[in-house]
Chain A
Amino acid sequence: MIDKLSEAFAFKQAALSLRTQRQEVLSANIANADTPGYKARDIDFSAELSRAMGPQQGGKGLSLNTTTAGHLQNRGGVNPGMVDLQYRMPDQPSLDGNTVEMDRERAQFADNSVRLEAHLSMTRSFIQGLKKAMQPE
């Protein structure tokens, strides 16, 4: 029965982990807005999430390599070292090689923050619903 609970949470856990990692990447972009030669990075959220939740063609997705019956199954989750960091295409060239554009980074940061907050609200409601369902009447 506990595995049904962890399956229910697997998607939310993966999404939360990816959102916080994207938050870190965007914060690093804003911090390095004046560093010469720094290239802005980002994560393709929907692609990463579907990659974390479903198996690849012919592969196991991001789940752990289970070779024995006693190995734990990874119920979907994001391995932080395997997230694919991509580069952002700049709109304008710059003299010092820095591709961070403040307007674009701030917009993405605000977007990610709002989505993260929405995710937290929905997860809280979900947990409250589960708890209510577990209470005896």
Chain B
Amino acid sequence: MSMFSIFDISGSAMTAQSQRMNVTASNMANADSVAGPDGETYRARHVIFESQAGQRSEVGGVRVSQVVEDQSPLRQEYQPGHPMADEQGYVSMPNVEPVHEMVNMIAASRSYQANVEVMNTNKQLMLKTLTLGDN
């Protein structure tokens, strides 16, 4: 019965949106990280969504195909006394935009809530379908 695949679809959307929230949280936490474990300045990361439709049917869920780093130029701050400053005294700070991240967070949480409601409604309908024929 095709109703069971609705759980897969809504579940995949919830997974994808929570990954998006994780990436947003990572960006906000590292907004001032001058150096990461590899010695490079932290670059803002974004998730790329991809629809799973097209393999066995025309509709499907969603998945995160990859997490990419933002290639826009890093923010330069003038701090001559900083240990990581270059010869002109500039330090490369991460290219995280807080406004962008807040908008992402709001959109991801709304989408997550919508998919939770879809899953709850479908679960109720399936349970009611199972009672067909009872007195």
Residues in A lying within 8 Å of B, measured CB to CB:
16, 20-21, 23-25, 27-38, 41, 80, 85, 102, 106, 109, 113, 116-117, 120, 123-124, 127-128, 131
The answer to whether B51 touches A35, judged by C-beta atoms less than 8 angstroms apart, is yes
B58 within 8 A of A: yes
CB closest residue in chain A, given B107 = A34
B103 within 8 A of A: no
* Shortest CB distance A8–B (Å): 14
Q: How far is the CA of A25 from the CA of B48 in the complex (A)?
A: 22
Residues of A within 8 A of B132 (CB): 120, 123-124, 127
B71 within 8 A of A: no
Residues in B lying within 8 Å of A, measured CB to CB:
1-3, 5-6, 9-10, 12-13, 16-17, 20, 48-51, 53, 58-62, 107-108, 110-111, 114-115, 118, 121-122, 125, 128-129, 131-135
The answer to whether A31 touches B58, judged by C-beta atoms less than 8 angstroms apart, is no
The answer to whether A24 touches B2, judged by C-beta atoms less than 8 angstroms apart, is yes
* Shortest CB distance A100–B (Å): 10
Which of these, A20, A29, A128, contacts B1 with CB under 8 Å? A20
Residues of B within 8 A of A127 (CB): 132-133
The answer to whether B60 touches A128, judged by C-beta atoms less than 8 angstroms apart, is no
Q: How far is the CA of A45 from the CA of B91 in the complex (A)?
A: 61
Residues of A within 8 A of B1 (CB): 20
Residues of B within 8 A of A116 (CB): 125
Which of these, B51, B118, B135, contacts A128 with CB under 8 Å? B135
Residues of A within 8 A of B48 (CB): 36
The answer to whether B122 touches A23, judged by C-beta atoms less than 8 angstroms apart, is yes
Which of these, B3, B5, B107, B118, contacts A30 with CB under 8 Å? B118
The answer to whether A31 touches B61, judged by C-beta atoms less than 8 angstroms apart, is yes
CB closest residue in chain A, given B65 = A35
* Shortest CB distance A21–B (Å): 6
